[in-house]
Homo-oligomer: A and B are copies of this chain.
Amino acid sequence: MEDLTELLRGVLEGCVLQILAGGGSYGYQIVQALNALGFESVSEGTVYPILVRLETKGLAQVTRERSEAGPPRKVYTLNAQGRAALQAFWERWDFVASRLAIMKEEQHG
CA–CA, A46 to B46, complex, Å? 26
Q: In the complex, what residues of B have CB within 8 A of residue A103's CB? A: 15, 18-19, 37
Q: In the complex, what residues of B have CB within 8 A of residue A91's CB? A: 1-2
Question: A55-63, A65-73, A93-101: which lies at the B interface?
Answer: A93-101
CA–CA, A38 to B15, complex, Å? 24
Give, as a whole number of angstroms, the nearest-CB distance from A109 to chain B.
11
Give, as a whole number of angstroms, the nearest-CB distance from A15 to chain B.
6
The verdict on A90 contacting chain B, using a C-beta distance below 8 Å, is yes
The verdict on A80 contacting chain B, using a C-beta distance below 8 Å, is no
Q: Are A11 and B93 in contact (CB under 8 A)?
A: no
Q: Are B37 and A96 in contact (CB under 8 A)?
A: no
CA–CA, A93 to B22, complex, Å? 25
25 contacts between A and B (CB under 8 A): A1-B95, A2-B91, A4-B92, A4-B96, A5-B10, A6-B9, A6-B10, A7-B9, A7-B10, A8-B96, A9-B9, A9-B10, A11-B100, A14-B100, A15-B100, A18-B107, A19-B103, A21-B107, A22-B106, A37-B99, A37-B102, A38-B95, A90-B104, A90-B107, A93-B100
